[in-house]
Amino acid sequence: MRKAVFIDKDGTLITNVPYNADPALIRLEPGAAEALRMLHAHGYALVVISNQAGIAYGYFEDKDMQGVIERITGLLRWNDIRLDGFFYCPHHPNGSVKQYAIDCSCRKPKPGMLLKAAGMLNIDLEQSWMVGDILHDVEAGNRAGCRTVLLDNGNETEWHINRYRRPLYIAYGLVEAAQLIIKN
């Protein structure tokens, strides 16, 4: 089994543009390429984990995510980085598109995407990390059995702390998060 770093997409890996499915608007966050290269060099599989409620709300279609994934993987490939996986949840219980308007087990803060990725990619969750910019990311990682890093970049708005929403570390950017992961 291998170790991995699960990385939230919006506000962590790429600049957060709410409900965006336009590949032309996608930009890597500062330090993202450097951080992912560091993690890969230390033997971590790199897996994106993302809620995409815009599909459930009808802002864009599930098929539109392919262009988003291609843009992100292309930007990373240009920086000599290869993702090992990309998982997203198209659901939201309050969505307007009936087939996606469900309370699923994959939508963060639930751990379903991480558990699915671990099974498909042979990942040891106890040796893995979840990095994200909100406490839902932290909760999903903790519930899956990972260690967690919260990027304190101003995106968290619900500072409701419980045992699952308590990050192991807080970092101010992906490079600092990668350094903490490698050190610990």
Catalytic positions: 8, 10
SS3 category, 180? helix
Strand-pair category, 85-89 with 169-171? unpaired
Phi-psi region of 11 (alpha: psi -120 to 50; beta: other; left: phi over 0): left
Q: Are 148 and 130 in contact (CB under 8 A)?
A: yes
Kindly state the helix (H) or strand (E) to which residue 115 belongs, with its residue range. helix 112-121
Beta strands 147-151 and 129-132 are parallel
Extract the tokens encoding 155: 């995106």
- What is the rounded distance in angstroms from the CA atom of residue 103 to the CA atom of residue 53? 12
Strand partners, 60: none
Q: Name, in order, each residue with C-beta under 8 angstroms of 74's C-beta and a sequence gap of 6 or more.
A: none
